[in-house]
Structure formats: structure tokens, C-alpha cells
Amino acid sequence: MSARPAEKPADSLAIAVAQLNPVVGDVAGNAEKARRARAEAARQGADLVVFPELYIAGYPPEDLVLKPAFQAACRAAVEELARETADGGPAMLIGTPWLDNGKLYNAAALLSGGSIAALRFKVDLPNYGVFDEKRIFAAGPMPGPVSFRGVRLGVPVCEDIWGPEPAECIAETGGEILLVMNGSPYRRGVGDERLNVAVPRINETGLPLLYANQVGGQDELVFDGVSFGLNADCSLAFQLPAFEEAVVTTRWWRVGDGWRCEQGPMAAAPEGDKADYGACVLGLRDYVNKNGFKGVVLGLSGGIDSALCAAIAVDALGPERVRCIMLPYKFTSRDSLNDAAACARALGVGYEIVPIAPAVEGLEAALAPLFKDLPRDVTEENLQARARGTLLMAVSNKFNLMVVTTGNKSEMSVGYATLYGDMNGGFNPIKDLYKTEVFSLARLRNAWRPDNAMGPAGLVIPENIITRPPTAELRENQKDEDSLPPYSVLDPILERLVEREEPISAIVAAGFDRDTVVRIERMLNLAEYKRRQAAPGVKVGLRNFGRDRRYPITNRFRDPGQPLPAPDVSLVTGRPARTEAFDF
């Protein structure tokens, strides 16, 4: 019998990028969306459609992927999609969990000609920050390329290109193009990081690279998309938009010994505050919609935090799905009442006033026998916040509206918030924004409306809200700076403590007052108890409170504030640190 002739390599490929927004656990829905994307790619003349990492499962699936029934559902969906490729339409390169010989892998499956033509398994499993893939997946072997229409395609998966070895293995075994499937979440500056990772892989291998990224919100994480292609000379061939789905076919041509992508669409990626705002909007929109809420409700206090949250909510969901309630008490100023009403009018949302005096006074009356002869203190102040939280949760229950939590990162860092009060709620779009960043985004939104926003253009946050000194209004003439350093001082200290993990001595050496730094570091540690009970919220920075930063609640270590001792200092036994009470 004569040998079957080798397939003649194609001289061109039309590769579609399916920058899609899957729902974790919705295997059938994700598969159906993949079908629609494939049909659109076929209309565009694509030969192959590339999907994001673990697309069928949704990313990140966390421990859900350990359920045998879920593994089986993902496999069945992929096998059904594979059978559908017998129709002669585009092949699919799709991400899925895959069980093989008792090991669970993060896999890329090439579906072509009615079957699963090839499988490749992720090699480098990230285990830092928000990622803990080593908990659930086995590392695959070094990946050789897969053959498609006679072209040898390298299929590294996300983290596989953050080090040199997988891409080098692909190049050494005859790879011609790198097709990278990604579940890369947004954080400030991540676009530059991705390019700074991709370019060395191209320089090392001489191969062009296509980067297909997921888009959408999944709990605390937001995936921004911004899929791109780079030619072998590192020139940008195309770039897809941020924070929105897209199915775009790119054209690749064999040129000499390599491949080149002709210039495709070049969507500008937002940066800085605009990118942060876009992430907050998408994160809230997907959390509400994917979890089946009719809309949201929030307490509109006349302050900057709730005003920005209201603007984000309207941009995410539209004014008809946002309900704002002012919950005044005797310490609520006329300015706050006027500013809240003006903000609601500017945003076009439903707005109601529900005085809390009957609730607060009823609680105080119930507690009077227990508190007899004791002076008034923060306990009574917190009753106001807890009355508001209870009323908002009642509205949530009655109308199936999720309560938007409105505390910023500065407050959550130092515990300047009330458990079961203003911390109540389902999701917090500004949880990872320091107070100074909240002001910055409020000013930005007044001057700029995102293209995909559902809210109005123009000044939506009254200027008086931005210029008035922040206050919780839990007592007469209260200001935040009565309890905290100015935010211009507090936030840089917190950024060094939280994001950089700098010791007190280094922060003091940078010019900050020692007593202030020591005090803030102590407050940060004590507030861990509160943060564990806080609502999830959008991650935009380097290290958010949640998946990124996992500190023990019971923790007596305190930074002594001195330069670190040499490693050979003798060990001594001293008294245990003083136990410090939590602030509720």
C-alpha cells in the first residue's frame, strides 16, 4: 500500500478571534454562544476560530471544576461542538477542562472535520495573586504544535507565554504561529505587561503571535479583552476593543519562511482612570445580570462614594434599573439632601426619601435598659448605619434588587465602616478604589461618557458633592478627617502598606510621619475582621481585598517600625503582644 501524500501546507489562513463573555458554569449557554460566534466567523470567511482559555467552563471555574458532573458536562459539550465541525465550516480552538488518565488539565482542543483533532494541556499553572490553578489542575507536558491545513500551530495557554520554555519548545518542534488562549483579568497597566511578555516570546522564537483574551465580569475579576496580534517583527497587526465582545477574522499569509498578519482593526484601549471606570461598569453589570437581579438599590447619601456608585450603576444597567433612596436622620445636612436629589435628577433614576428616625429611636428605646447610665458613643452612631442597612436589605428582599455597597478602599483598609450597616450589600463597584481615586473618577465621569454607557452625558455628579469635605454624618458637624488623616496622606500610606507590603521603616524613610504610619498600620491589621465580611467588588489595582490579599484575622504580629534585623539576631522569648479589640 502506498503512503498517503502529505497535506500541502496552506499559504493563507483566516483566523477569527472570538473575544467572548462566558458565564462560569453555564456549559450549555457557553457552547451555544460559541456556535453563534462560529457562524459569524463563517460569514466572515474564517478557517479557524480561537476562543479564550477554559471558555466552555468559564474562567476562573475555581473548585467547581473538581465536580465530576461538571467535567463530564464540559467534555460532552466539546465533543458535540467537534461533531458539528463536520459541516465544512470553520474549525474551533476552544478552551476546556479535560480529564485524562485520572488527571485534570486546563486544555486547548482543536475541533476540526467532525472530531477532536488535537489536545494540548497548559504547562505553567499560575499560583499567585488571584490565581490558584495548581490547586485544581495538573501541569501538562511541553507542547509541540498542532497541524491544521498543513500549518503547524503553537497553542500555549495564557501563563505559558509568561516564561520562555513552552514557546521555545513549540518553535523547536516546527511551530509556525503562536495562538495564545487567555483568561487574563484587568488591572491597571496590564496591557503594557501583556505586550512586555509577548514581545520576548516573539524575539526568542521568531514566530508571530495571536493573543485571544476573555471579556466580562466574574465575581471580583473583570476581563477586559483587548485581544491583539503581533507579527514576527513585533509590529501590532490588530487590536480588539476593551470591555466588549467581538468576533473578528484576521488574515494571515505565508511570506517566505514565516507568516504575517495583514493589518486588521485597531481599537484604542482605554488607559488610567478611563480603564478603571470601564472595569467598574462591566464588573457591576455582569454581577447583576449573571446572577439574575432585576436591578439595584443603593443609599444615596449626598456623598461622593454613593454618587459615583450611582453613576456606575446607571452606566452599567440603565436608569430604569437603578433605585436610589436617601435615608436621612437628624445629622443629615441640607447640603446632603439637596446634593442627593440633584444627583438622582441628573442620572434620571428613581429616588425616594425614607427617614430613619423611627427605626433609630426604636432601637435606642429597646436598648435603653441595657445601656442605662452609660454615655453615648460610637455604638449609637452605628445604630444609624445599621438602620439604613436593614432598610435597604428589606427593599432588596421585597423587589429583588441587589443592594450596591458604596464603601471605598480607604475606608475598608482602616475599618472606617459599620458591620451590618453601610457594609451591607451584594456587590461593591468601588471596593478597590482609594478615596482619592473615587474623586478622580467622579471628575472624569462629569467630563466624559464611555461609549457603551447607558447613562446620560454631562455633569452627573453635582460639583458640591466633589468639593464638600467628606463626612459620615453620624454626629453633629462630623468630618472624616476628625478620625482619619487627610486622604492625600492616608492613601499613599495605604498603597505602600497594601499593594507594596512595605515595612513601616521604609514608609517613614520616604517622608511620612512615623506616628501616623504606625497608627494606620495598626488600623489596617485590626480591620481584617470586617473585610472578611465585606461584599465582593471589582478588582482594578495590583492587590485587592479578597482573592489577592489573604491575611489571618487572628494575628498578633505588628511591624515594630524599625529597620529589619540581620538574619543572625538571637532569638528571645518575650511577652505576647497585647490583644487589641476589634472595632465593630
Q: Which helix (H) or strand (E) segment is 154 a member of?
A: strand 151-154
What pLDDT was estimated at residue 85?
97
Task: Write down which residue in 221, 243, 267 finishes a domain.
Answer: 267
What pLDDT was estimated at residue 128?
76
On whether both 229 and 156 belong to a single domain, the answer is yes
Confidence of residue 480 (pLDDT cuts 50, 70, 90): low
Q: Grid coordinates 453633629 are at which residue?
A: 476
Residue 257 DSSP symbol: T
Alpha carbons 459 and 112: distance in angstroms, whole number? 52
CATH number at residue 211: 3.60.110.10
Looking at per-residue confidence, does 332 or 3 come out higher?
332
Three cell numbers, residue 55:
471558555
Confidence of residue 133 (pLDDT cuts 50, 70, 90): confident
Alpha carbons 480 and 469: distance in angstroms, whole number? 8
Give yes or no for a contact between 535 and 412, defined as CB atoms under 8 angstroms apart: no
In a domain, 201, yes or no: yes
- How many domains is the chain built from? 2
On whether both 223 and 296 belong to a single domain, the answer is no
On whether both 234 and 311 belong to a single domain, the answer is no
Confidence of residue 1 (pLDDT cuts 50, 70, 90): very low
Give yes or no for a contact between 56 and 31, defined as CB atoms under 8 angstroms apart: yes
Q: What is the pLDDT of residues 364-374, one digit of tens each?
A: 999 999 999 99
Confidence of residue 7 (pLDDT cuts 50, 70, 90): low
On whether both 313 and 184 belong to a single domain, the answer is no
The answer to whether residue 577 scores a pLDDT higher than 60 is no
What pLDDT was estimated at residue 459?
95
Q: Which helix (H) or strand (E) segment is 352 a member of?
A: strand 350-353
On whether both 258 and 279 belong to a single domain, the answer is no
What pLDDT was estimated at residue 544?
87
Query: Which range, 99-108, 463-472, 557-566, is most confident?
Result: 99-108
What pLDDT was estimated at residue 478?
63
Q: What is the pLDDT of residues 135-192, one digit of tens each?
A: 999 999 998 999 999 999 999 999 889 999 999 999 999 999 999 999 999 999 999 9
In a domain, 582, yes or no: no
What pLDDT was estimated at residue 473?
61
Q: Grid coordinates 461542538 are at which residue?
A: 81
On whether both 185 and 319 belong to a single domain, the answer is no
Q: What is the pLDDT of residues 221-256, one digit of tens each?
A: 999 999 999 999 999 999 999 999 999 999 999 988
Give yes or no for a contact between 428 and 406, defined as CB atoms under 8 angstroms apart: yes
Average pLDDT, the chain: 91
What pLDDT was estimated at residue 10?
81
Residues recognised as catalytic: 53, 122, 158
In a domain, 565, yes or no: no
Tally of residues, the chain: 584
Q: What is the pLDDT of residues 185-208, one digit of tens each?
A: 999 999 999 999 999 999 999 999
On whether both 231 and 331 belong to a single domain, the answer is no
In a domain, 560, yes or no: no
Give yes or no for a contact between 460 and 446, defined as CB atoms under 8 angstroms apart: yes
What pLDDT was estimated at residue 326?
95
In three-state form (DSSP H/G/I as H, E/B as E, the rest C), the secondary structure along 278-305 is HHHHHHHHHHHHHCCCCEEEEECCCCHH
Residue 363 falls in which region: left (phi positive, over 0), alpha (psi -120 to 50) or beta: alpha
The answer to whether residue 43 scores a pLDDT higher than 60 is yes
CATH number at residue 500: 3.40.50.620
Alpha carbons 210 and 226: distance in angstroms, whole number? 12
> Whose CA is closest to 146, among 168, 106, 181, 178?
178
Query: Which range, 89-93, 521-525, 548-552, is most confident?
Result: 89-93
Quick one: average pLDDT of 75-94? Answer: 97
Q: What is the pLDDT of residues 306-322, one digit of tens each?
A: 999 999 999 999 999 99
Q: What is the pLDDT of residues 534-545, one digit of tens each?
A: 999 999 998 888
The answer to whether residue 71 scores a pLDDT higher than 80 is yes
Quick one: average pLDDT of 489-493? Answer: 95
Peptide bond into 141 cis (omega under 30): no
In a domain, 485, yes or no: yes
Alpha carbons 395 and 325: distance in angstroms, whole number? 10
* Residue 561 burial (C-beta neighbours within 10 Å; 0-12, 13-18, 19+): middle
What pLDDT was estimated at residue 481?
67
Residue 446, C-beta contacts closer than 8 angstroms, at least 6 positions apart: 458, 459, 460, 461, 463, 466
On whether both 251 and 279 belong to a single domain, the answer is no
The answer to whether residue 60 scores a pLDDT higher than 90 is yes
Looking at per-residue confidence, does 351 or 134 come out higher?
351
In a domain, 376, yes or no: yes
Q: What is the pLDDT of residues 388-416, one digit of tens each?
A: 999 999 999 999 999 999 999 999 999 98
> Whose CA is closest to 343, among 460, 447, 443, 453?
460
In a domain, 550, yes or no: no
Confidence of residue 571 (pLDDT cuts 50, 70, 90): very low
Q: Which residues form the domain of 47?
A: 13-267
On whether both 261 and 298 belong to a single domain, the answer is no
What pLDDT was estimated at residue 563?
67
What pLDDT was estimated at residue 560?
80
What pLDDT was estimated at residue 263?
86
Task: Write down which residue in 267, 295, 315 finishes a domain.
Answer: 267
End-to-end CA distance of the chain: 82
The answer to whether residue 570 scores a pLDDT higher than 70 is no
What pLDDT was estimated at residue 2?
46
On whether both 261 and 280 belong to a single domain, the answer is no
In a domain, 549, yes or no: no
On whether both 251 and 197 belong to a single domain, the answer is yes
* Residue 583 burial (C-beta neighbours within 10 Å; 0-12, 13-18, 19+): middle
On whether both 234 and 280 belong to a single domain, the answer is no
